[in-house]
Structure 1
C-alpha cells in the first residue's frame, strides 16, 4: 500500500466531517474564532505517524518494516538526461497569508479591513507603491534588489474550498475535473525522463500526500544523514534486500532496487563535506535543516530534478499580529526567509542559475481580520519565486482590489491560476513542452517572470 493512499484513507473522513456549504466552500469560522483548525492538526499528526513507522513502497510491491525513518520509493519507467533547473517546491501548509507577506499598501481597503494587523506603509522594506514586502522578509531583500526574487499576487485554485485536506489534495493533484489521480510533480518528472535514484526527493519531517503520487521514481527522507534501512548497523539489511529480489520480476523488484540505488547515492553525499558553503548559516528549524540537505544534494550533483519541502504553521486564526518581532506572522516569515536566504548563499550564484524555488499554499486568508488578531480561511493568495532564471524585484499579476464589491465571499478574488504560474516556470526553466500533460487545460502565464533557459 502506498504512503499517499494511506494518508488519503486517513483524511477522507475528516473532510466529510468538516462539511461544505451550498457554494462548495466549508462554512466560515466566526469572526472571533480563537482556535486553530482541528483538521490541520490531524494532518500534521497523520504525517508524523506515517514517518514514525517508516515505509518503503513501490508499484505492486510493499516493503513495510524494512525501511528506516521516512523512506519511500516507487518505480520509474522513463530514462534520459535532464538539463533544466532543479525545481524546489516549498509548501506553506495551513493557508499562507499573502496579504501580509506582500501587503497591498496602495489599496486603502486593506487598512480598513485590517486595522490591527495590516503592515504599515512605513514598515515595508521594498515594493512599488502598490505592494510592499513585510519587514520580516529582510533576509531576502538582497535577492529582491538583485532581481532574483519575485511574487505573483491574487493566485488561487479554480475550485476553491476552505477545507485544508480537500484544498491540499486538489493543489497537489492539480487536475480538477479529470480522472487523473497522479500528482503534478510526478507527471512533470515523467515528461523530463529523469530516472536517477535521487531525481525527486521529499525532504524533511513531512511527506506531500499527492505531489509525487504516480509511477515516477521518488524518495522521501527526513534528512540525508537519517536515510538508512532499519537495523542496517546491526544486520546487513541492504545486502539481504538485494539478494531477496535478485531474481524477482521487475515489477516486484522495482521498489527494492530503487531503494538500494537511493541508499547508495546518499552514501556518497554523506561522506562528502556537509558544511554549508560561502559562510551560509541555516536557522535551527525543520525548514532550515531540509533546505540545507536539498543544497547538499544539488552540490553533490546527483541528478536532483525536483525537491519538496514542507513549511507549516501558517494557519493563523489567532495571533497573526502586527508586523513586529515576536508576533506569529513576523517570526514565521523571518524563519522562512532566513532558511531560503541561507540556501541561496550556500549554493552560490553559479549554482543558483540552474535552481528555481517557488512556494505554494492550499489557500489564502480572508481579507478582514477577526477578533483574535488573526484571519480565517480565504482564497486569493501570493506565491514567491526565486532563482537565477527569475525576473524579480516586482509583484506580478492582475490586482482585483479589496473593495467589498470586488471580493468573493469576503475573500481576495483569485484571478490567476497557480498552475499557470508554475507552468511558465516549467516551460521556460524546466524544458517541459507538453504542459497540458502536467496541468490539463491550463496555459502558462505570460507575465515574463521567467527567462527562457
Structure 2
C-alpha cells in the first residue's frame, strides 16, 4: 500500500508530494514498528514500555498546517505599510474592509468568524515569522519546518519529541487527522493517523464481525508478548478502543463548514471531549498555493480558504465547550508569498509569514513580532524577523512540561510574548 499526500501547486516542482509507506516509516520509526488499521489509519508504535492509562485534563496543542504556503500578507494585512497597496493593485484588501485593526494591521474580512475570539483575548497573530533562511521548495521547506532540528540526521519531528519529553502519559497521546503522518509526528513515540474519526477501525472489525473476533485474534497473537511488538500492539489496540468511545459521543458537527478541514476539526473536538489522553494533534488543510487568481477582498480563492479556516476554527472552539480551556491551536505554513502580485493576479513563493495562535494561554487581541517593512520591488519578500521555533517554543514552555531544549535542539529562542508566562 502507498500513502500519498497530494497538494495543489502551480509551481514547477510538481503538483504531488508523495511518500511510500516504506520510506515514510523506515526513516521515521527509530526504535519501533508500524502497523496499519484499515486503509486510512496508520499507527506508529514506539519501542518503550506499555502506555499507562490515559491522562485526564492535560493541555493539548493542535497544529493546523496551511499546506501550499498561505499568503500571510492577505490574512493579516499590513495596511499601515504603503508598499503593500503599491505592490498589489489588483488583490490588496482595502483598509475599510479590514477587521480587528490596531493602527497598522488588520484581519482579512473573511476571518470574521474569528473576531469574537480576538475580542475575547483568545486569538493573536505573530507577524514576519518563518524559517531562518528562505527555502521556497514546498517539500523541502515542510521537512525543515517540521523536523525543527537543523543538522540532525535523525528524521524525528518536533511534536514527536514534545510528547516524548512531556511528563503526561496516555496510550493515545498524539493524533494526525489526515491521510498520512506529517514529519512533525514522525519518530519513536506512539502516534496515530486517521482521515476521520469514523475511519479509525481495525481492518476486518466491521459490521460482519459481530462478536469482535478480529480484535480478539490480534490480541491473542501479539498482545500477550513481553517484547516490543507485544507492548506496541497493546497500545495500538487500546487506542482503537479509546477512539470507539470518542465516536459514541454526541455528534455536534453541524456547525462546522462542510469541508475536509471542518470534518477534521469536528473529529478532533470529539476526540478531545472524550479525554483519552491526547496532548498533540496535527491537521492539514491544503490548496494555499495561489500563484494565479487569488481574488478580491470579497470573492475568489483567498476568500473561500480564509472563510473555511475561520469558520472551522470558530466552530471547533465552540464545540469543545469547557475543554477549550486546555486547548491551544497554532497555524503554520511552510513559507509566505512575495510582496508584489504577479501578472496572473497571484503571488509567487516568498519567505516570511503570519502565525495565528488561539485558545488556552494565548495573550490575544494583539499583533506580535517585529515588522521589517515591505519593499515594492520585483522578488521582494517579507523578511523573517521571528524564527517560527520561538513561537512554538513559547507554546511548548507554556502548555507542556517538555523542555524546549529537547524539542528544539540547539536553538536559542527569543522572547515573543504571545503566551502567558513567556
TM value normalised by structure 1: 0.84
Displacement of 1:247 after TM fit? 4.3
- Shift in Å at residue 420 of structure 1? 0.4
Report whether the alignment pairs 1:245 with 2:222. Answer: yes
**Displacement after TM superposition at 1:222 (Å):** 1.3
Change (3 A) 1:60 1:184: closer
Contact 1:204 1:287 in 2 (8 A): no
Equivalent of 1:429 in 399, 406, 419: 399
Residue aligned with 1:372, SS: coil
Which residue of structure 2 aligns with residue 20 of structure 1? Answer: none
**CA distance in 1: counterparts of 2:104 and 2:160, whole angstroms:** 37
SS in 1 for 2:41: coil
| Aligned residue runs from structure 1 range 405-420, under 5 A | 410-420=380-390
> TM-score, normalization: structure 2?
0.89
The equivalent residue for 2:120 is 146
Residue 290 of structure 1 and its aligned partner are, at CA, apart by 0.6
Unaligned residue ranges in structure 2 (runs of 5+): 22-28
Q: Tell me if structure 1 keeps the 8 A contact 2:173–2:277.
A: yes
Cα 1:391/1:324, change in 2 over 3 Å: same
Is residue 314 of structure 2 the alignment partner of residue 333 of structure 1?
A: no
Show the 5 A alignment for 1:37-116.
37=11, 39=13, 41-43=15-17, 46=18, 59-63=31-35, 67-75=38-46, 77=48, 84-116=58-90
1:299-358 alpha-carbon deviations (Å, 9 max, x no partner): 111111010100110000001111113x0001100000000000011112x322211000
Q: Distance in 1 between matches of 2:214 and 2:12?
A: 39
State the distance in 1 between where 2:14 and 2:163 align.
Answer: 29
CA contact (8 A) 1:68 1:227 kept: no
- 1:210-229 to 2 correspondence within 5 Å? 210-229=183-202
- 2:370 is paired with a residue whose SS is coil
Residue 353 of structure 1 aligns to a residue whose secondary structure is helix
Q: Secondary structure in 1 aligned to 2:330?
A: strand
State the shift of 1:112 in Å: 1.0
Please give the per-residue CA displacement for 1:384-405, whole angstroms capped at 9, x wherever unaligned. Answer: 0001311111110000000358
Structure 1 residue aligned with 2:235: 258
SS at match of 1:340: helix
- Residue 197 of structure 1 pairs with residue 171 of structure 2: yes
Q: Which residue does 2:361 correspond to in 1?
A: 389
In structure 2, how many angstroms separate the alpha carbons of the residues matched to 1:189 and 1:145? Answer: 32
Aligned CA distance change for structure 1 residues 121 and 320 (closer, same or farther; 3 Å): same
Structure 1 residues without counterparts, runs of 5 or longer? 12-34, 51-56
1:404–1:410: 8 Å Cα contact kept in structure 2?
yes
Shift of 1:442: 2.4
Offset at residue 200 of structure 1 (A): 0.4
How far apart are 1:76 and its partner, in Å?
A: 5.8
* Distance change >3 Å, CA 139–CA 62, structure 1 → 2: closer
Q: Which residue matches 2:317?
A: 344
Change (3 A) 1:174 1:184: same
- Counterparts of 2:166 and 2:329, CA distance in 1: 18
Structure 1 residue 251: Cα displacement: 1.6
What's the Cα RMSD here?
A: 2.7
- In structure 1, distance between residues paired with 2:58 and 2:351: 32
Aligned-partner Cα distance in 2 for 1:357–1:136: 19
| Contact preservation (8 Å) 2:65, 2:283 | yes
Tell me the distance in 2 between the aligned counterparts of 1:356 and 1:133: 20
Quote the offset at 1:181 in angstroms.
2.2
The residue correspondences of 1:117-132 to structure 2 (distance < 5 A) are: 117-132=91-106
Aligned residues, how many?
408
Q: Aligned-pair distance for 1:62?
A: 4.3
C-alpha deviation, 1:249, in angstroms? 4.3
Q: Is the 8 A contact 1:67 1:230 kept in 2?
A: yes
Are 1:156 and 2:126 counterparts?
no
Distance in 1, Cα, partners of 2:32 & 2:275: 30
CA 84–243 in structure 1, closer or farther in 2 if over 3 Å, else same: closer
CA distance, structure 2, for counterparts of residue 403 and residue 168 of structure 1: 26
1:449 aligns with 2:410: no
Shift of 1:259: 1.9
Residues in 2 aligned to 1:412 and 1:262: alpha-carbon distance in whole angstroms:
43
CA contact (8 A) 2:249 2:270 kept: no
